Amino acid sequence: MGERLRNKTALVTGSTSNIGQAIAEAFAAEGAHVIVSGRHRERGTQVVEGIRASGGRADFLVADLDGSAEASRDLADRAREALGGRIDILVNNAGVYPAPDTLTTDEDTFDRVYAVNVKAPFFLTAAIVPGMSESGGGSIVNLGSWIARLGVPRGALYSSTKGAMETLTRAWAAEFGPMGVRVNAVSPGVILPPAPEGSEPHPGELMMQGTPAGGVGTPDAIAHAAVWLAGDEAAFVHGTVVDVDGGRTGVAVIAA
């Protein structure tokens, strides 16, 4: 167990699997008391049990962040109560990724993706920041995406929501920094859980050929960046989007 987040409390949305789970586990391993949240109670309970078995502190709160201010405020209130009255760290990770192209995207899909990916973290942040400030400050880590800045086919809807979150990161840093609340973001590249031996290559692996990393990343790579941004080591970091993408967006890709 580390101590980089010792005595800190954290809420990580969408943390019952993949990147969110890795962040919750990494926070707990560094001493934070973590709220794991998501729609799937069974998966969330398993994540909490794993954290506790490793000596960490965690609780699960079921939450369906549908974009309504009410749902976001409800999670904020329950998390604050479960964490003893304060939330030091918020990670806005929950999101959905349907991938229709623009010409086949219907209005219901458009509204749902923006509700979950933008409205929900917007109102959750608004519900948590005042308490953070009153408690002496805090840190917010948003999740962006490499495709917010590097266009891919069939990614317009999702990438536009992540572009919104990266813009909100900068705007919130300006708005909340004077209140003692730092706001930054992590922009993941192609991130995949470790593949079983002998499995077929994932299409995402093709996108990473010719990059400096030469392959895809794992959820742990994002979790390490989130730990740094959330902790005191990044006390002078405000409004920054940290690319954790193997060099995909910042370096020329050389075809093999």
| Cβ–Cβ < 8 Å for 52, 224 | no
Round to whole Å and give the CA distance between 79 and 96.
22
| Cβ–Cβ < 8 Å for 61, 37 | yes
Q: Quickly count: other Cβ atoms within 10 Å of residue 119's Cβ.
A: 20
The residues assigned a catalytic role are 158
Round to whole Å and give the CA distance between 198 and 215.
16
DSSP 191: B
The continuous run of DSSP H or E covering 27 comes out as helix 18-29
DSSP 255: P
Q: Quickly count: other Cβ atoms within 10 Å of residue 253's Cβ.
A: 15
For the chain, what is the radius of gyration of the CA atoms? 18
Pairing of β 89-92 and β 57-62: unpaired
